[in-house]
Amino acid sequence: MLGEDHSLAKEFPELLDKITALTGSDEKFAADTKRYNALDKEIRVLELRGGPIDDEAMHQLKHDRAELKDSLYHRLK
């Protein structure tokens, strides 16, 4: 679905306390979370506004977001 919110809080609501704790105590986790949220927002904006981006570039953004989400999830577990 276009413009869908994939924020960590929305994706992993059961881990919200852990996300908050790690964001406050782990600089690398906080930086990666910030980068993930920025990528997610960029993708949503591009999807909703039909931004000038080719399919390959959009695929790369989504791939980067998925890899970062996977890395963050593994650190949460």
Per-residue pLDDT at 51:
73
Environment class of residue 36 by beta-carbon count within 10 Å: exposed (0-12), middle (13-18) or buried (19+)?
Answer: buried
Mean pLDDT score across all residues of the chain:
93
Per-residue pLDDT at 1:
60
Q: What span, in angstroms and rounded, lies between the C-alpha atoms of 21 and 72? A: 13
The C-alpha angle 63, 67, 68, rounded to 5 degrees, equals 115
Predicted TM-score (pTM) of the model is 0.88
